[in-house]
Amino acid sequence: PLENERYDYLFKVVVVGDSGVGKTSLIQQLCFERFANDQKSTIGVEFNSKSLLVDSKQVKIQLWDTAGQERFRSVAPSYYRGSLGAVITYDTTYAKSFEQIQFWLNSLNQHCPTAKILVIGNKSDLVDLRAVPIEVAREFAEQEDLVLVEASAKDLSSVEFAFNKLVSVILADR
């Protein structure tokens, strides 16, 4: 990190969602502009940071990634503690991961009820494999009063768009 790095806000953001939906890939793309077809879960690193200029504010977000414990539905309360934002990720090519949004919503409501939530439908590049129609996703998001965007961890601009949106929602409350 730069020693004289300046920012107006520092926000902790947790990234949740079922195993394999692309959480680590989204974070790697946003923070390091890289994509790996054989993404390994990052062991020993709690979070990566990224600075974004949103609504004329320089915002540094700390992105917390799970180390695979989501597979066992046993994400520790300490993972969520203090987060102002949360990303629930599902895989647009895997309907089960979309149904699991409710589980992650419940976890967030329990552990960080005031966090602003963004839902990302990931892997939008796999158009031929789509299993969750965008209309279905939008209707669900509307019912639950959630902000939803589709993105691809292969495409930096779509990932930046998504995280900018979350930061904008958090900022609106400050």
Contact positions vs ligand GDP (CB under 6 A): 19-25, 36-39, 41, 122-123, 125-126, 152-154
| Binding flag, residue 28, Mg ion (CB under 5 A) | no
Q: Which is nearer to Mg ion, 41 or 48 (CB)?
A: 41
Pairing of strands 116-122, 85-91: parallel
Pairing of strands 47-54, 57-64: antiparallel
Cα–Cα distance, 23 to 83 (Å, whole number) = 16
**CB of residue 49 to Mg ion, shortest distance in Å:** 17
Let me know: does 90 contact 132? Beta carbons within 8 Å.
yes
Alpha helices in 88-174 (DSSP H): 95-99, 101-111, 134-144, 156-171
Q: Report residue 22 CA to chain centroid gap.
A: 9
| Binding flag, residue 24, Mg ion (CB under 5 A) | yes
| Binding flag, residue 41, Mg ion (CB under 5 A) | yes
Residue 143's binding partner out of ligand GDP, Mg ion, none, with CB under 5 to 8 Å set by partner kind: none
Residue 20's binding partner out of ligand GDP, Mg ion, none, with CB under 5 to 8 Å set by partner kind: ligand GDP
Q: Which is nearer to Mg ion, 64 or 98 (CB)?
A: 64
Q: Where does this chain touch Mg ion (CB under 5 A) — which range of 18-26, 46-54, 80-88, 118-126?
A: 18-26
Q: Which amino acid is at 97?
A: S
Per-residue tokens: 114 = 């005031």
**CB of residue 174 to ligand GDP, shortest distance in Å:** 29
Of the candidates 93, 64, 88, 74, which has an alpha carbon nearest to the alpha carbon of residue 140?
88
Q: Which residue is nearest to ligand GDP (CB)?
A: 22
**CB of residue 23 to Mg ion, shortest distance in Å:** 5
Q: Point out which residues bind Mg ion (CB under 5 A).
A: 23-24, 41
